Structure 1
Amino acid sequence: MSTTATLGTGTDQRLYDVADWYDAEALLTTDERTVLARLRNFLDAEAKPLLAGYWERGEFPEQLSQPLIDLDLMEPADLTVNGPVRGIYQGFRIFELARTDASLATWYTAQAGLFRTAIRVGASAEQQREWMPKVIDFSLKGVFSLTEPEHGSDIAGGLSTTARFETNSAAGPDGGSWVLDGAKRWIGGASTTDVLCVFARDIADGQVKAFLVDRTAAGVTLEKIHGKTSLRMMQNAHITLDGVRVPEAMRLHNVDSFKDVAAMLRAMRSDVAWIATGMQAGAFEAALAYVKERQQFGRSLGSFQLVQEKLARMLGNITASLSLVVRLTEQQSGGVVRDQDSALAKMQTSLMMRETVALAREVVGGNGISLAADVARFHADAEAVYSYEGTHEINALIIGRALTGVSAFTN
């Protein structure tokens, strides 16, 4: 499969002619495929040559950030002429980024997925009119700051960052400010963002609220998390909030409880399912290219029966994953958005991703642990994707609750 994405007039020219066995790409319009081809060409020419080195050093290639923004991928002008950007395009945009690198996909979806969803779901109509255009063109960059040092899977009931409101009568009815105290952890991209979308528990009513906090505000401390063996390029931060003041105008006015946060998570899990699917495609394509070229015992490694069986299993996983995320996206685009649907997609695609990247590493043999063979990044990065935005077990319990009508979550 050629890595150069060019689209001509012939119907036989496709972007995903190996990994997309059942041609889910056919659901894309020609204009959507053209935008994705531009992204593919940029990633192949500018990003791929840098990835191994930056991954090994644990640094993010910041020189890619502005060019990726300039590609105008979130709301491409040539796609919005006839209406809103379609969900299937957004899914394949994530797929394309993830088949190149999980950190790049995570970095982009932190803005286009997590932060944009926080504004779309949590902001008032007035706040959306002010902020959403800036979110789309990246002039207001934000990150989703929910997870805490001691609370991940139990964040709904365990969230311990606090917010208290202090009135200021001299400032009128909308005067006063909120004071935030606590800590957040594993927040990707926090060191280069403009605002942190921080979720905190209001001490007055015990409900979760959301705030846009200036990254440079007094009382905000960011520390880079070192020693990671997964998503090494993604810069994750530990954030400490010590008496941080936030004006009422910077509170997301439609977030009044964790139920509103859960509404955000439904969409975010869908994005992660697309990332898990794209990573499988990237690992599979790298492994397939390797076994076609590698010679062992005087013949192509790809000619051995056991290797071909593993390739077939990888392709089966990818095909099943694409079927899940495409159908989920179609449902959500049609207005059917349920916790159990996004949970099922995230759980199952992540499970298949884990097997696919392991098989890719396996067929490449000893070279599979080398960054040069291009499967080691996927193999390591899959562990982070497997866990974030809901672990396997948490998503299984969401599905189980929907199936039985009984919650198995512990208090």
Structure 2
Amino acid sequence: MNRHDDTALASALPEANGDFYDFAGALSDEENAIRLKVRAFMEGEVKPIISDYWERDEFPFELLPGFRALGISGIPFQGYGCTGGSSTLLGFVTMEIARVDSSIATFFGVHGGLAMGSIYLCGSEEQKQKWLPPMARMETIGSFGLTEPEVGSGAAGGLTTTARREGDTWIINGQKKWIGNATWGDVTIVWARDVDDNQVKGFIVENRSPGFHVEKILHKMALRVVQNGLITLTDCRVPEANRLQGANSFRDTARVLAATRAGVAWESVGCARGAYEYALRYAQRRIQFGKPIASFQLVQDLLFRMLCNITSTQAVCVRLSQMQDQGLMRDEHAALAKGLCTVRMRETVGWARELLGGNGILLDQQVGRFVADAEALYSYEGTREMNALIVGRAITGFSAFV
């Protein structure tokens, strides 16, 4: 098929649109304008270059000015220079970003969700006034340091990073692993166990502090654009003024994680949707046996199954965000959405790769990047098993955690 024929065929075919039930109709006109602005940026600025950066294991710093100009950092926080808006808007924005690249969505979620969210939910009024405005402007970039080399799912009771108070200073020792944005960002929210009361506390640690050392984690097969760091804290001194005043146990950490776990559910829908829409466009144009493979029954069945997953999980995410906005969301609601959506995402990107056949493993065909990145989304912010136990505890009344 020549270029002219290809263009004519494309104009005559249905658009590759994963929003089959028009969930975007739940947004106001103003919110939808923001969503479309984000989509235009991702399609126009990010999509043409992101596979090259993914292959090189580098972050596209050239995109930061455009990202700042979107003005989306700090949804749905109110005041302090933050964008404001609904959790539903944040979900759609996250999905639009992940629809093009999960690494950029992870950067956005770590900075605007985990780091800013820790300060917004657990910080004092003075801390919010100091840190949130420059973070909302993306002049100060944040990270979130919870996971450790030997402590992932067991963070609630097993953190080995310690904090010891000496007067108005805290001395922090330990390591944090898989910390997105840490190799180049400005501040990290470090969670450490207070040696005096054995409770988990949060600290705003400036990355250039003496005793704070970070090295880039290499040889990743997923989220390669995200610059994950291994942080080593050696007698790192943090002033009491930088201790999150509202973070006094892991329950407070969990408040942050519940909110951002909902964001990962949305991100997984975006990842699945990006793979599906690319696979559909490919099927409409790929000629075998003299006609587009989209006309074959088995290909249409794959596309149907992908669209079912995307539609059902997006419905869950929309309702979850509505519950957030209404103050009704509990930990188990976020856990069910994260577990369900990442499982369905994993299926969907696999079917997209299957549809592309051998071409599916080529980076320039895009889908392989979604397949690889899905593996990271499946694991972080709580594995399927951990989320199953959170839901299980809520529905049975028994805790199966050890």
Q: Taking structure 1 as the reference length, what is the TM-score of the superposition?
A: 0.91
1:378 aligned partner:
370
Q: Separation in 2 of the partners of 1:333 and 1:51?
A: 33
Report the counterpart of residue 262 of structure 1 in structure 2.
Answer: 254
- 1:319 matched to 2:311: yes
1:400 paired residue among 386, 392, 399:
392
Matched residue, 2:129: 129
Q: Structure 1 pair 182/75, CA: closer, same or farther in 2 (3 Å)?
A: closer
Gaps in structure 2 of 5+ consecutive residues: 1-14
CA distance in 1, matches of 2:339, 2:28: 29
- For 2:314 and 2:120, the matched residues in 1 are separated by 26
* Percent identity between the two aligned chains: 46
Q: Which residue of 2 aligns with 1:10?
A: none
Task: Give the distance between the partners of 1:103 and 1:84, measured in 2 at CA.
Answer: 23
CA distance in structure 2 between the partners assigned to 1:320 and 1:341 by the alignment: 15
Task: In structure 2, give the amino acid aligned to 1:293.
Answer: R
- Contact 1:162 1:180 survives alignment (8 Å): yes
Note the alpha carbon deviations across 1:131-190, whole angstroms, 9 max, x for none.
2222211233211100000000001111010000012xxxxxxxx200000000000110
Check the 8 A contact 1:96/1:278 in 2, yes or no: yes
Per-residue Cα deviation, 1:81-114 (whole angstroms, up to 9, x for no partner): xx94112111100010000000010011111111
User: 2:115·2:188 contact (CA, 8 Å) conserved in 1?
Assistant: no
Residue in 2 that maps onto 1:36: 35
Q: Deviations over 1:203-236 (max 9, x none)?
A: 0110011111110111111111011111111110
Deviations for 1:368-389, whole angstroms, at most 9, x for unmatched residues?
0001111011000000000000
**Pairwise CA RMSD of aligned residues?**
1.7
Write the distance in 1 (CA, Å) between the matches of 2:36 and 2:318.
19
Please give the secondary structure, in 2, of the residue aligned with 1:191: coil
Check the 8 A contact 2:160/2:192 in 1, yes or no: yes
Give the 3-state SS of the residue equivalent to 1:73 in structure 2.
Answer: coil
Shift of 1:366: 0.4
Q: Residue type of the partner of 1:311? A: L
Paired AA for residue 121 in structure 2: V
SS of the residue corresponding to residue 134 of structure 1 reads helix
Q: Which residue of 1 is the match for residue 100 of structure 2?
A: 100
The alpha-carbon deviation at position 126 of structure 1 amounts to: 2.6
Shift of 1:17: 7.3
Counting only pairs closer than 5 Å after superposition, residues 232-381 of structure 1 correspond to structure 2 as: 232-381=224-373
Amino acid at match of 2:359: N
- Alpha-carbon displacement from aligned partner over 1:294-351 (angstroms, at most 9, x marks no partner): 0011111111100000000000000001000000000110011211000000000000
Query: 3-state DSSP class of the match of 1:149?
Result: coil
* 2:144–2:190 contact (8 Å) kept in structure 1: yes
TM-score, scaled to structure 2: 0.93
Distance 2:140 2:378 in 1: 29
Q: Is the partner of 2:138 in helix, strand or coil?
A: coil
In the alignment, residue 29 of structure 1 is paired with which amino acid? S
Question: Equivalences for 1:51-200 in 2 at 5 Å?
Answer: 51-74=50-73, 84-167=84-167, 176-200=168-192
Task: Give unpaired runs (5+ residues) of structure 1.
Answer: 1-15, 168-175
Cα pair 1:17 1:23 within 8 Å, conserved? no
